[in-house]
């Protein structure tokens, strides 16, 4: 058993090292291609600089290699042109990386060297056929020419026509054997097309990466907006921003407020107070989603939620009453940061106006007498009780246990009958 483990261990290590090798090479290539970029570059400029780094490096290798090959076969002029172009491109790319980082300057110098060097080599070798397709490397700079790509493509056509019409002038044959000329054609076509494909794939990958980042940012912005506004309202504001106000003939509004909040807050630090409210209101938010209701806002320790807006629903009063009972049970069953809480809750039903007003820091809000009355039900309520008006009582009395609490005097409303909701009836409980 141990011998088998020992035998397989080197294989596993070899496998790990072989897997790490491509990753290291890829990381090095990405690092090298990014050498010309600076922090303030736009994404398109970063891609263009990376393409310049890659295409120029390939052109340098080709220029030096072909220069040495032509010198080996005693083609002195073509050899000097190739080596000179390689050295000048190397110097230019080093200045680009180490000093100025100016894309257009580095690109223009290297593109000029590629076109001029290719043309001079073609003349020295006697034209198109003998030059073994050196013209292909000029396409690198056509592809990454940006807004000047049309001009560089025109220069490429001029270069190609000149190389074609130079044959067989000024010379008919060269010292390089025909087999080597054909082999160089194969190498040039393969390398040039491979580099062009790599440049294209790199540009596409960078574009797709940018699109993924953009989609991610859009989704985050969309989620943030939907945390502020109902989806229907957010859609309207995105498509055609304007003041939104809509009348709803029947909706139910709930206000919930922490009992004895002021003396309790005096004994807590601001951070502890915010954490407590965040914890309890986050639990309420879960219930809002559970019952498909609309959280309107929080004001200090007051929590406001509505049913029947922005989408009308026939069971608005029942749904919000069920949530109120579950809010009551949630608060009674646990402590929040070591504190036992109790809430006053008030509900009322009736017509409301809902919408978004203003130009900055807008929010979805409700207006109307029904809203004000719901707020009065909360402020005149008892700790731990769910207090409702007659309008809401008539809507929920068949589904919930409601205890009459007589008549109270409400500021701005006079005397009003009120009820306390104490639980769901058996049929409602079983349905839930």
* CA–CA dist 386, 392 (Å, integer): 12
Pairing, β 343-356 against β 386-389: parallel
CA-based nearest residue to 365, from 299, 283, 411, 291: 299
Residues 6+ apart with CB under 8 A from 149: 142, 143
Long-range contacts of 102-110 (CB under 8 A, 24+ apart): 103/36, 103/45, 103/48, 103/49, 103/52, 106/36, 106/52, 106/56, 107/48, 107/52, 107/141, 107/144, 107/145, 110/52, 110/55, 110/56, 110/59, 110/141
> With the CA atoms of 34, 37, 39 and 40 taken in that order, what torsion angle do they form, in degrees rounded to the nearest 10?
-140
CA-based nearest residue to 128, from 115, 118, 137, 114: 118
User: Cα separations (Å) of 38 from 46, 48, 50, 115?
Assistant: 8, 12, 12, 28
Task: State yes or no: cis peptide before 280, omega within 30 of 0.
Answer: no
List the catalytic residues.
376, 411
SS3 295: strand
Long-range contacts of 229-236 (CB under 8 A, 24+ apart): 229/356, 229/362, 229/363, 229/364, 230/294, 230/309, 230/310, 230/364, 232/310, 232/311, 233/310, 233/355, 233/356, 233/364
* CA–CA dist 155, 353 (Å, integer): 68
Whether the CB-CB separation of 234 and 226 falls below 8 Å is answered with yes
* CA–CA dist 254, 304 (Å, integer): 6
* CA–CA dist 272, 15 (Å, integer): 53
* Owner of token pair 């009820």: 419
């Amino acid at each position: 058993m141990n011998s088998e483990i020992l035998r397989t261990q080197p294989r596993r290590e070899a496998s790990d090292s072989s897997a790490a090798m491509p990753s290291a090479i890829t990381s090095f290539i990405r690092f090298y291609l990014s050498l010309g970029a600076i922090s303030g570059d736009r994404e398109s400029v970063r891609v263009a600089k990376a393409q310049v780094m890659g295409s120029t490096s390939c052109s340098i290798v080709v220029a030096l290699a072909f220069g040495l090959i032509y010198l080996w076969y005693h083609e002195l002029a073509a050899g000097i042109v190739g080596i000179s172009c390689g050295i000048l491109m190397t110097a230019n790319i080093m200045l680009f990386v180490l000093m100025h980082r100016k894309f257009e300057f580095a690109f223009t110098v290297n593109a000029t060297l590629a076109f001029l060097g290719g043309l001079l080599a073609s003349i020295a070798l006697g034209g198109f056929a003998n030059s073994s397709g050196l013209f292909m490397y000029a396409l690198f700079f056509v592809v990454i020419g940006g807004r000047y790509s049309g001009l560089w493509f025109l220069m490429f056509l001029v270069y190609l026509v000149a190389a074609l019409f130079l044959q067989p002038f000024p010379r008919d044959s060269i010292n390089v054997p025909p087999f080597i000329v054909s082999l160089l054609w194969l190498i040039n076509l393969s390398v040039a097309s491979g580099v062009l494909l790599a440049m294209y794939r790199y540009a596409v990958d960078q574009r797709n990466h940018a699109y993924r980042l953009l989609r991610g940012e859009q989704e985050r912005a969309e989620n943030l907006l939907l945390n502020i506004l109902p989806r229907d309202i957010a859609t309207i504001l995105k498509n055609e921003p304007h003041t939104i106000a809509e009348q709803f003939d029947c909706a139910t509004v709930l206000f919930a407020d922490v009992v004895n909040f002021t003396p309790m807050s005096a004994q807590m630090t601001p951070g502890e107070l915010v954490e407590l409210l965040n914890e309890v209101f986050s639990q309420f938010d879960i219930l809002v989603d559970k019952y498909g209701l609309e959280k309107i806002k929080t004001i200090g320790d007051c929590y406001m939620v509505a049913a029947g807006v922005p989408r009308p629903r026939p069971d608005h009063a029942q749904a919000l009453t069920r949530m109120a009972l579950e809010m009551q049970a949630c608060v009674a069953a646990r402590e929040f940061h070591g504190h036992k809480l109790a809430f006053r809750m008030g509900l009322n039903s009736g017509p409301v106006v809902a919408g978004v007003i203003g130009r900055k820091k807008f929010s979805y809000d409700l207006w109307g007498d029904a809203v004000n009355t719901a707020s009065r039900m909360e402020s005149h309520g008892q700790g731990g009780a769910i207090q409702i008006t007659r309008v809401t009582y008539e809507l929920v009395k068949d589904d919930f246990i409601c205890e009459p609490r007589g008549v109270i005097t409400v500021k701005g409303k006079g005397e009003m009958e009120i009820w306390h909701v104490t639980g769901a009836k058996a049929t409602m409980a079983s349905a839930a």
